[in-house]
Each structure stands twice: as C-alpha cells, then as structure tokens.
Amino acid sequence: MADDKKLTFSLFLLRLSVFIVMFMWTLDKFVRPAHASLVYETFYHSPGFGYTVSYFIGAVELVIIVGFLFGFKKTLTYGAVLLFHTISTLSTYRQYAAPFAEINLLFFAAWPMLAACIALFLLRDRDTLLSIE
C-alpha cells in the first residue's frame, strides 16, 4: 500500500474512532439527560439544566459530529470536535491528580483521543477517504 493510501486510511480510522466516542457522549444527552446535566454541573461548573437543554445540546453536537464523520466543512467540524474534546479533557483536571482513586484512571484515555483530534485537525486536508469535501 502506498504511503498516501496508508495516511488516508489511518486518518479515516482516527476520524471514525473519534466519532464513535463523541457519538456515545452525544447519545447520553438523549438517553440519560439527568446524567448529562450532572456532568455539566460537576466538570463545567454550570448550573443544572432540564431535559430540553440536554436535548438541544445533544442535537447541536449530533449535527456537528455527523458532519465530522463525513468530512464535511472540515475546518468547522474538526475544529469543533477538537474544541469540545479539549474542554472535556482539561475540565477533568482533578481526576488526573488522583489517578488511582475510584475510576479516575479511565480519564487518561482522553489524552490519546485529544492527540487524535489534533492530528485530524492539522491533517484535515489529507483526510479524504469517505469525505464529502
């Protein structure tokens, strides 16, 4: 396989795997809106919100991540996914200080995904497999 095809395929796999994680987090806003509200209170220091706000945030995220999955408006969608995940990763700073308490070790999985989001954003022009643009 030529290097360009390897890169294109690798970027597609990164995009697909990042989408899967983001999709599950987005679905959580529809399936368990009370949990989504608790996450926002705990990690983003925002007041609790009702189901309607959770559904709205989920709907906006869904549009963005589906665009991301299909490589549509890459600067916008890849940038938004990078921003969402950067905020998510940095907002859990307390969990990194106590990695072996409770389930905090799982939070470290955010860092390789953040690296994938950065790589996808920086290489978005080369990410062309199954891409609309």
Does some domain include residue 132?
Answer: no
The number of folded domains in the chain is: 1
pLDDT digits (tens, 9 = 90+) for 8-55: 999 999 999 999 999 999 999 999 999 988 888 888 888 878 889 999
Does some domain include residue 133?
Answer: no
Structure tokens at 8: 């294109």
pLDDT digits (tens, 9 = 90+) for 49-91: 888 999 999 999 999 999 999 999 999 999 999 999 999 999 9
**Which residue carries 């999985």 as its tokens?**
109
- Write out the residue range of the structural domain in which residue 28 sits: 3-126
Residue 133 reports pLDDT greater than 80: no
Distance in angstroms (rounded) separating the CA atoms of residues 45 and 61 = 19
Distance in angstroms (rounded) separating the CA atoms of residues 110 and 21 = 10
Does some domain include residue 78?
Answer: yes
